[in-house]
């Protein structure tokens, strides 16, 4: 394994160089799957990077590469960052999982953080993700109260566990406050196509939905709702406050800043260890955007109460009794879902119509 | 007055010199762009052209050029055959996906059996998948006269939906905790398209690309089919009078380009990429169209063009992280490079002369 | 499953909106191809139009000025293509694809500060009585002016190509540039004008996405259109009205499949998602009996001295 040796020695050499020059800034790399100007997923990760710069100033140097395709391109870019002396590398897409672990095996001195994955093959890899479904619980509560047609439209990207979990969480909480509520789900089968998202939102509104939840990142559904009039929406990934106070009545914000700052600090202090983080509202990784005045005060209070109980851990968004779609029991009364089942969730809960495309 | 005069023969000297002139012009224009963005032009351009080849970490980047360039060359060679004959396969991206799905499908079906014959079967399946997908436009064109541009293109989108559906369903890794994407073939020895020499970047796809270049060269210059292709492209009526069968040519050109694209997809999924996932395809099938024309539809030209494209991709990523350049600036830079390469090609076929036109 | 939830009038109205960017881009490309030039840079010109239109509309507060700027920006970018292919004799396919790459990068650079900004809205044409008519109202009278412009453009291109001398010259140049040159027509000049027109139309199509259909600016937001506009011209066999048919068919199937999903029809979603492409192929096969073909000189460069 000539290359591995070469790389290890290169890494060691760089490691030594870093050790020798203690004044050297900590170098943090970020690998992005989209452009930083996508206004959603990658944009929020880059906000996190900027927060790291703001926090540590001259003591850090951050680098990023955007629009990195998953697969060999990602592996090359991650390797490139490691070769060029990065101390800590955040890889921010699920598809970077295997490339991240491959590179980590070759650079034992460099720390790697992979977002939304589950593989930590070596002890210099951590994984982190956010419990966005907690935000969905708050959304579902507001949506259930606010809908008059009792039809809630939901735009999904691809039927992956992350999205399915969000649908279930929103449905459970909407149903709890409004037993007549019905979900109409449209899969866009794309991560990013604003025009298609706009169409999907229009279709849902035309079919009677007066609340639109989206698991895609563009503001297209917001604009469609605004044009339609009496429809409410929630910002996704970023706050989308420009569409408030209506249609956008609240939002789920990906806030990676606290985590990125904490992990960078850990590398600086030498306290970094391999961990699996799955944080929610409590740790500040999931932000709930300002609930606008379009929401009645008592609904707002109820939503905030749920948010508070999720934050302090006194309430879990998946608390039994909950049955699966086919009627079989999943959680008994008072039982809460375990993280393993949640992470790989591939079923709807009872009451949701339709099948998950498999 | 500046005038263009067509050269009786393309200039050999200029055909070699124009790429260099174009690269120089791009460096100047790109330098201005980077300067406008507030970066040191020299510092911005050096990583793109120099770093991957001769920089401190060239030992890593040089093999990556092969990894990045091989699929481009393999697909472009196939496309060039059809393009020469006026047969427009725009859907190599779809054939690439289908090749990967067929190849990976065979590999995954055998899991966890270890046997020597699995990889060869995957190669055959990959080539077959691409061939099959390209045969749809070929069949529709020969049977109904349906335009192959549109059909091959639409089938790209269909293939993308298949890919998503496979990653989420049939080929999903049963040990993947419900996440999309197949098992990683890199961890399945019999199906792994590993590097032939560790650290060299040489995998079977690179070998296949080189063989394809030689094959295409021989075919076009030494074989009746090659003559047939060229004649059809330059003088379709003459080709018909000469008794060539256009149906067979369509089937051959589309089938071959589909097969090569399928092979590229199969080598990618079993090697550098490793798994079937929703975002497996990254546009090689479309970029290869540029590569084919940049290489003037000549096998050796395509080899060089593929290498150059790979260089700008790899160098572009280095420049991004070194200089905090947005990827869009790199895209603009690549666009400029292509423009200059295409524009300066003029000097190969034309002479620029000053003065009044001679009276013919 | 509840098909009664689908309102056909609203469905048709929204498919018209979905199809409009395609109409603009495709009718422009049709004119370019009629003149014998193949410009595969449609997406590049669209996205530059999208960002230029968006930025102008935000800065001036006038969507109309935005559309004007978008047309200008699309045409400006197409000048690059014209120089490459008409003067430098570069290969048209490669030049067009490079133009797309360049346009995508350029638009992202220009649009950096417009991410997350909300553009001014374009007023719909509101005809007091007509817009409120059942069924006919939303389909015919409830749209923004640009949508009508797109349809008018189709009609205009059709009329010009079919009846006017300009159309005759355009077709002559596209069918046989040597003969057209021999007849004294300025082949290069005519083609450049056609390319500029195509660029302007693509720019309008892009701005329609960023200002009306979505409306927002994001990098690479024309992702879904990519090659469809080009495919439509082929689909239409270079006939303007068939562009309209093709765009409405494609837009229609897209909207219908989303409608069927929302209504909970038991067809697997992935097959629904494939349907616009498959149905387009199917219709094309049925239409294949029509043997009218591409302009004979399509994609071939012209050099007067040869």
ipTM computed for the complex: 0.90
Average pLDDT in the A141-163 region?
Answer: 93
What is the predicted pLDDT for the residue at A5? Answer: 52
How far, in Å, are A59, A90, B249 from residue A19 at the CA level? 14, 22, 65
Please tell me the distance from the alpha carbon of residue A209 to that of residue A243, in angstroms, as a whole number. 18
Helices (H), ranges, chain B = 12-36, 41-49, 51-54, 58-84, 92-110, 118-144, 148-168, 204-222, 224-234, 236-241, 246-270, 284-294, 299-323, 327-344, 346-349
Looking at the structure of chain C, the number of domains it has is 1
Average pLDDT in the A84-101 region?
Answer: 94
What is the predicted pLDDT for the residue at A23? Answer: 61
pLDDT tops 50 at residue C156: yes
What is the predicted pLDDT for the residue at B1? Answer: 53
Q: A1 versus C261: which is more confidently predicted?
A: C261
- B59 burial (CB, 10 Å; 0-12 / 13-18 / 19+) is middle
Average pLDDT in the C120-140 region?
Answer: 73
Please tell me the distance from the alpha carbon of residue B114 to that of residue B104, in angstroms, as a whole number. 15
Q: Closest approach of chain A CAs to the CA of B24, in angstroms?
A: 26
Average pLDDT in the C44-54 region?
Answer: 96
Tell me the chain B residues in contact with residue A73 when contact means C-beta distances shorter than 8 Å: 68, 282, 313, 317
**Banded model confidence at residue A1, pLDDT cuts 50, 70, 90:** very low
Q: For B37-41, B92-96, B353-357, which range has the lowest pLDDT when averaged over its residues?
A: B353-357
**Banded model confidence at residue A18, pLDDT cuts 50, 70, 90:** very low
DSSP element (H, E) containing A329:
strand A329-331
Residue C180 CA from chain centroid, whole number:
28
Please answer whether residues C14 and A203 qualify as being in contact, where contact means their C-beta atoms are separated by less than 8 angstroms. yes
Kindly list the residues of chain C whose beta carbon comes within 8 Å of any beta carbon in chain B: 80, 83-84, 88-91, 93-95, 97-99, 101-109, 112, 219, 227, 230-231, 234-235, 270, 273-274, 276-278, 280-281, 284-285, 288-289, 291, 303, 305-306
Residues 6 or more apart in contact with residue B233 via CB below 8 angstroms: B83, B84, B85, B86
Q: B76 versus C289: which is more confidently predicted?
A: B76
Residues 6 or more apart in contact with residue A135 via CB below 8 angstroms: A252, A281, A286, A287, A288
What is the predicted pLDDT for the residue at C231? Answer: 84
The two beta strands, A232-237 and A211-214, are parallel
**Banded model confidence at residue B130, pLDDT cuts 50, 70, 90:** very high
Q: For A57-61, A295-299, C298-302, which range has the lowest pLDDT when averaged over its residues?
A: C298-302
Bond preceding residue A226 cis, omega within 30 of 0: no
Average pLDDT in the C293-304 region?
Answer: 76
pLDDT tops 60 at residue A129: yes
CB count within 10 Å of CB A236 equals 28
Please tell me the distance from the alpha carbon of residue C64 to that of residue A24, in angstroms, as a whole number. 53
**Banded model confidence at residue B356, pLDDT cuts 50, 70, 90:** low
Please tell me the distance from the alpha carbon of residue C35 to that of residue C86, in angstroms, as a whole number. 12
Please tell me the distance from the alpha carbon of residue A87 to that of residue A18, in angstroms, as a whole number. 9
Residues 6 or more apart in contact with residue C201 via CB below 8 angstroms: C24, C25, C27, C28, C29, C31, C71, C74, C153
Tell me the chain C residues in contact with residue A202 when contact means C-beta distances shorter than 8 Å: 14
The percent of residues in chain C predicted with pLDDT above 90, rounded, is 47
What is the predicted pLDDT for the residue at B14? Answer: 80
Q: Of C206, C190, C205, nearest to C37 (Cα)?
A: C190
Q: Which domain holds residue C195?
A: 19-127+136-223
pLDDT tops 70 at residue A6: no
Question: Partners of A278 in the beta sheet?
Answer: A129
Q: Which of C101, C106, C289 sits opposite B338 (nearest CB)?
A: C101
Phi, psi of B146 (to 5 degrees): -70, 140
**Banded model confidence at residue B324, pLDDT cuts 50, 70, 90:** confident
**Banded model confidence at residue B359, pLDDT cuts 50, 70, 90:** very low
Q: Which of residues 159-198 of A touch B (CB under 8 A)?
A: 159-161, 189, 191
Please tell me the distance from the alpha carbon of residue B49 to that of residue C232, in angstroms, as a whole number. 39
Q: For A178-187, A188-197, B348-357, C271-280, which range has the lowest pLDDT when averaged over its residues?
A: B348-357
pLDDT digits (tens, 9 = 90+) for B23-53: 899 999 999 999 998 888 888 888 888 889 9
Average pLDDT in the B149-162 region?
Answer: 91
User: What's the CATH architecture for B40-324?
Assistant: Orthogonal Bundle (1.10)
Residue B181 touches chain A, beta carbons under 8 Å: yes
The pLDDT mean for chain C works out to 87
pLDDT tops 70 at residue B144: yes
**Banded model confidence at residue B313, pLDDT cuts 50, 70, 90:** very high
Residues 6 or more apart in contact with residue A190 via CB below 8 angstroms: A157, A196, C223, C224
Q: Which residue's entry shows tokens 């409405």?
A: C248
The pLDDT mean for chain A works out to 89
Neighbours of chain C (3+ CB pairs under 8 A): A, B
Q: Of A91, A84, A97, nearest to A66 (Cα)?
A: A91
Question: Partners of A287 in the beta sheet?
Answer: A253
C281 assigned to some structural domain = no
Q: Which of B278, B286, B309 to mutate to test the interface with A (most CBs of A within 10 A)?
A: B278
How far, in Å, are B69, B210, B341, B346, B348 from residue B304 at the CA level? 9, 12, 13, 19, 17
What sign does the dihedral C128-C130-C132-C137 (CA atoms) show?
negative
Tell me the chain B residues in contact with residue C83 when contact means C-beta distances shorter than 8 Å: 343
Edge-to-edge strands of the sheet including A88-91? A60-65, A26-31, A88-91, A111-115, A125-130, A276-279
pLDDT digits (tens, 9 = 90+) for A210-250: 999 999 888 889 988 988 888 999 998 888 888 878 899 99
pLDDT tops 70 at residue A22: no
Please answer whether residues B214 and B302 qualify as being in contact, where contact means their C-beta atoms are separated by less than 8 angstroms. no
Q: Of B317, B56, B49, nearest to A14 (Cα)?
A: B56
How many CA atoms within 13 Å lie on the side-chain side of C24? 33
Please answer whether residues C115 and A44 qualify as being in contact, where contact means their C-beta atoms are separated by less than 8 angstroms. no
Q: For A11-25, C73-87, C280-294, which range has the lowest pLDDT when averaged over its residues?
A: A11-25
CB count within 10 Å of CB B224 equals 9
Please tell me the distance from the alpha carbon of residue A117 to that of residue A98, in angstroms, as a whole number. 9
CB count within 10 Å of CB A309 equals 15
C122 assigned to some structural domain = yes
pLDDT tops 70 at residue A2: no
Q: Of B250, B290, B282, nearest to B136 (Cα)?
A: B250
Q: Closest approach of chain B CAs to the CA of C153, in angstroms?
A: 24
Residues 6 or more apart in contact with residue B121 via CB below 8 angstroms: B106, B110
Question: Partners of A89 in the beta sheet?
Answer: A29, A112
pLDDT digits (tens, 9 = 90+) for B336-345: 999 999 888 8
Q: Of B16, B93, B80, nearest to B292 (Cα)?
A: B80
Q: C83 versus C284: which is more confidently predicted?
A: C83
Task: State both tokens at B214.
Answer: 């030689």
What is the predicted pLDDT for the residue at A93? Answer: 92
Task: State both tokens at C9.
Answer: 């009038």
pLDDT tops 80 at residue A314: yes
Task: State both tokens at B205.
Answer: 């796809």
Go through the domains of chain A in sequence order and give each one's CATH number: 2-130 (3.40.50.2300), 132-254+286-343 (3.40.50.2300)
C229 assigned to some structural domain = no
DSSP element (H, E) containing A166:
helix A161-177
pLDDT tops 90 at residue A306: yes
Q: Of B157, B164, B122, nearest to B268 (Cα)?
A: B122
Q: Closest approach of chain A CAs to the CA of B3, in angstroms?
A: 43
Tell me the chain B residues in contact with residue C97 when contact means C-beta distances shorter than 8 Å: 286, 289-290, 293, 338
Q: Is C224 within 8 Å of A196 when comparing Cβ atoms?
A: yes
pLDDT digits (tens, 9 = 90+) for B205-249: 999 999 999 999 999 888 888 888 888 877 777 777 777 788 888
Q: Is C273 within 8 Å of A189 when comparing Cβ atoms?
A: yes
What is the predicted pLDDT for the residue at B360? Answer: 41
Average pLDDT in the B269-295 region?
Answer: 91
Q: What is the DSSP string of B60-103?
A: HHHHHHHHHHHHHHHHHHHHHHHHHTT-----HHHHHHHHHHHH
Q: What is the DSSP string of chain C?
A: --GGG--HHHHHHHHHHHHHHHHHHHHHHHHHHHTT-----HHHHHHHHHHHHHHHHHHHS-HHHHHHHHHHHHHHHHHHHHIIIIIS---HHHHHHHHHHHHHHHHHHHHGGGTTPPPPPPPPP--TTGGGSTTHIIIIISS-HHHHHHHHHHHHHHHHHHHSHHHHHHHHHHH-HHHHHHTT--HHHHHHHHHHHHHHHHHHHHHIIIIIIS-S--TTTTTTTTTHHHHHHHHTTT-HHHHHHHHHHHHHHHHHHHHHHHTT-SS-HHHHHHHHHHHHHHHHHHHTT------TTTT----TT-
What is the predicted pLDDT for the residue at A81? Answer: 94
CB count within 10 Å of CB A42 equals 24
What is the predicted pLDDT for the residue at A268? Answer: 94
Q: What is the DSSP string of A80-123?
A: HHHHTT-SEEEE-SGGGHHHHHHHHHH-TTSEEEEET-----ST
Q: Of A7, A207, A237, nearest to A105 (Cα)?
A: A7
Q: C292 versus B110: which is more confidently predicted?
A: B110
What is the predicted pLDDT for the residue at C290? Answer: 66
Please answer whether residues B87 and B235 qualify as being in contact, where contact means their C-beta atoms are separated by less than 8 angstroms. no
Please tell me the distance from the alpha carbon of residue A62 to that of residue A26, in angstroms, as a whole number. 8
Please tell me the distance from the alpha carbon of residue A346 to that of residue A168, in angstroms, as a whole number. 10
Reduced to 3 states, what is the DSSP secondary structure of residue A349?
strand
pLDDT tops 90 at residue C142: no
Please answer whether residues C99 and C42 qualify as being in contact, where contact means their C-beta atoms are separated by less than 8 angstroms. no
Please tell me the distance from the alpha carbon of residue C158 to that of residue C284, in angstroms, as a whole number. 21
pLDDT tops 90 at residue C222: no
Q: Which of residues 70-109 of B touch C (CB under 8 A)?
A: 83, 90
C30 assigned to some structural domain = yes
The percent of residues in chain A predicted with pLDDT above 70, rounded, is 93
pLDDT tops 60 at residue C1: no
Q: Closest approach of chain B CAs to the CA of A75, in angstroms?
A: 9
What is the predicted pLDDT for the residue at B354? Answer: 66
Phi, psi of C217 (to 5 degrees): -115, 125
The pLDDT mean for chain B works out to 89
Please answer whether residues B141 and B147 qualify as being in contact, where contact means their C-beta atoms are separated by less than 8 angstroms. yes
What is the predicted pLDDT for the residue at B355? Answer: 60
Please tell me the distance from the alpha carbon of residue C17 to that of residue A224, in angstroms, as a whole number. 12
What is the predicted pLDDT for the residue at A19? Answer: 44
Residue B324 touches chain A, beta carbons under 8 Å: yes
pLDDT tops 80 at residue B77: yes
């Amino acid at each position: 394994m000539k290359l591995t040796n070469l790389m290890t020695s290169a890494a060691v050499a760089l490691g030594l160089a870093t050790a020798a020059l203690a004044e050297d800034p900590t170098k943090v790399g970020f690998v992005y799957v989209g452009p930083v100007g996508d206004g959603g997923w990658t944009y929020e990760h880059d906000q996190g990077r900027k927060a790291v710069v703001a926090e540590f100033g001259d003591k850090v140097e951050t680098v990023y590469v955007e629009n990195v395709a998953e697969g060999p391109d990602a592996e090359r870019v991650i390797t490139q960052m490691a070769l060029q002396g990065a101390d800590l590398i955040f890889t921010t897409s699920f598809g970077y999982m295997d490339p991240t672990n491959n590179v980590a095996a070759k650079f034992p001195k460099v720390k790697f953080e992979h977002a939304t994955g589950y593989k930590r093959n070596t002890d210099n890899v951590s994984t982190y993700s956010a419990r966005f479904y907690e935000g969905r619980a708050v959304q579902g509560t507001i949506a259930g109260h606010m809908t008059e047609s009792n039809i809630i439209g939901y735009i999904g990207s691809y039927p992956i566990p992350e999205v399915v979990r969000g649908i279930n969480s929103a449905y459970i909480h909407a149903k709890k406050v409004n037993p007549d509520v019905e979900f109409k789900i449209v899969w866009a089968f794309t991560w990013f196509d604003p025009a298609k998202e706009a169409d999907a939102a229009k279709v849902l509104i035309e079919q009677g939905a007066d609340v639109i939840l989206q698991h895609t990142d563009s503001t297209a559904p917001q604009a469609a709702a605004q044009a339609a009039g009496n429809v409410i929406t929630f910002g996704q990934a970023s706050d989308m406050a420009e569409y408030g106070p209506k249609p956008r009545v609240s939002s789920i914000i990906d806030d990676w800043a606290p985590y990125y700052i904490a992990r960078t600090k850990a590398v600086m202090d030498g306290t970094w260890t391999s961990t699996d983080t799955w944080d929610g509202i409590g740790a500040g990784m999931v932000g709930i955007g300002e609930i606008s005045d379009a929401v009645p005060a008592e609904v707002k209070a109820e939503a905030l109460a749920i948010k508070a109980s999720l934050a302090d851990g006194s309430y879990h968004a998946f608390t039994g009794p909950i049955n699966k779609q086919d009627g079989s029991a999943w959680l008994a009364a008072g039982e809460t879902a375990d993280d393993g089942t949640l992470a790989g969730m591939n079923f709807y809960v009872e009451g949701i119509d339709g099948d998950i495309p498999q | 007055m500046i005038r263009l005069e067509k050269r009786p023969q393309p200039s050999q000297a200029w055909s070699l010199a124009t790429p260099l002139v174009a690269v120089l012009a791009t460096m100047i224009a790109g330098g201005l762009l980077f300067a406008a963005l507030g970066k040191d032009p020299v510092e911005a351009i050096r990583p793109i052209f120099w770093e991957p080849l001769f920089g401190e970490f060239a030992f890593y980047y040089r093999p990556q050029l092969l990894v990045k360039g091989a699929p481009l060359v393999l697909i472009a060679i196939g496309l060039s055959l059809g393009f020469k004959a006026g047969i427009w396969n725009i859907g190599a991206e779809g054939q690439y996906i289908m090749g990967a799905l067929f190849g990976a499908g065979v590999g995954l079906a055998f899991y966890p059996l270890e046997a020597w014959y699995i990889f060869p079967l995957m190669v055959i399946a990959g080539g077959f998948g691409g061939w099959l997908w390209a045969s749809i436009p070929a069949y529709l064109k020969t049977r109904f006269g349906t335009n192959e541009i549109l059909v091959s293109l639409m089938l790209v989108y269909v293939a993308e939906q298949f890919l998503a559906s496979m990653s989420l369903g049939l080929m999903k890794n049963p040990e993947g905790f419900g996440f999309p994407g197949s098992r990683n073939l890199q961890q399945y020895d019999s199906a792994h398209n590993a590097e032939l020499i560790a650290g060299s970047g040489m995998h079977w796809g690179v070998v296949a690309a080189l063989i394809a270049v030689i094959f295409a060269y021989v075919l076009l210059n030494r074989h009746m089919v090659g003559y047939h292709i060229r004649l059809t492209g330059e003088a379709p009526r003459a080709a018909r009078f000469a008794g060539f069968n256009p149906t067979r040519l369509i089937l051959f050109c589309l089938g071959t380009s589909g097969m090569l694209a399928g092979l590229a997809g199969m080598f990618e999924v079993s090697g550098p990429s490793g798994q079937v996932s929703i975002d497996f395809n990254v546009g090689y099938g479309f970029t290869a169209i540029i590569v084919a024309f940049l290489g003037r539809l000549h096998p050796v030209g395509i080899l060089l063009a593929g290498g150059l494209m790979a260089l700008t991709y790899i160098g572009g990523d280095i420049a991004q992280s070194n200089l905090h350049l947005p990827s869009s600036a790199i895209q603009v830079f690549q666009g400029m490079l292509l423009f200059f390469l295409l524009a300066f090609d003029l000097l190969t076929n034309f002479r620029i002369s000053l003065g009044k036109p001679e009276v013919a | 499953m509840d098909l009664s939830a689908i309102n056909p009038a609203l469905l048709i109205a929204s498919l018209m909106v979905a199809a409009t960017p395609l109409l603009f881009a495709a009718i422009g490309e049709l004119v370019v191809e009629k003149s014998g030039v193949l410009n595969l840079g449609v997406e590049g010109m669209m996205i530059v139009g999208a960002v230029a239109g968006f930025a102008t509309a935000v800065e001036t507060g006038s969507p109309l000025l935005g559309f004007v700027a978008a047309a200008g920006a699309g045409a400006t970018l197409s000048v690059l293509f014209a120089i490459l292919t008409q003067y430098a004799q570069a290969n048209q396919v490669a030049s067009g694809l490079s133009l797309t790459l360049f346009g995508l990068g350029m638009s992202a650079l220009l649009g950096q500060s417009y991410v997350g900004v909300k553009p001014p809205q374009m007023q719909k044409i509101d005809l007091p009585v007509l817009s409120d008519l059942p069924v006919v109202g939303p389909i015919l009278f409830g749209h923004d002016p640009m949508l009508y412009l797109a349809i008018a453009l189709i009609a205009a291109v059709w009329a010009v190509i079919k009846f006017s001398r300009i159309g005759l010259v355009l077709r002559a140049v596209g069918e046989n540039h040597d003969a057209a040159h021999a007849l004294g027509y300025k082949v290069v000049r005519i083609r450049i004008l056609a390319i500029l027109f195509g660029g302007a139309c693509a720019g309008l199509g892009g701005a329609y996405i960023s200002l009306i259909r979505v409306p927002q600016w994001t990098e690479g937001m024309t992702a879904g259109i990519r090659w469809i506009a080009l495919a439509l011209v082929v689909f239409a066999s270079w006939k303007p009205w068939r562009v309209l048919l093709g765009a409405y068919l494609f837009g229609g199937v897209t909207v219908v499949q989303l409608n069927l999903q929302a209504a909970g029809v038991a067809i697997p979603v992935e097959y629904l998602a494939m349907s616009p492409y498959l149905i387009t192929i199917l219709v094309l096969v049925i239409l294949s009996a029509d043997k009218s073909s591409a302009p004979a000189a399509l994609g071939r460069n012209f050099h007067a001295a040869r």
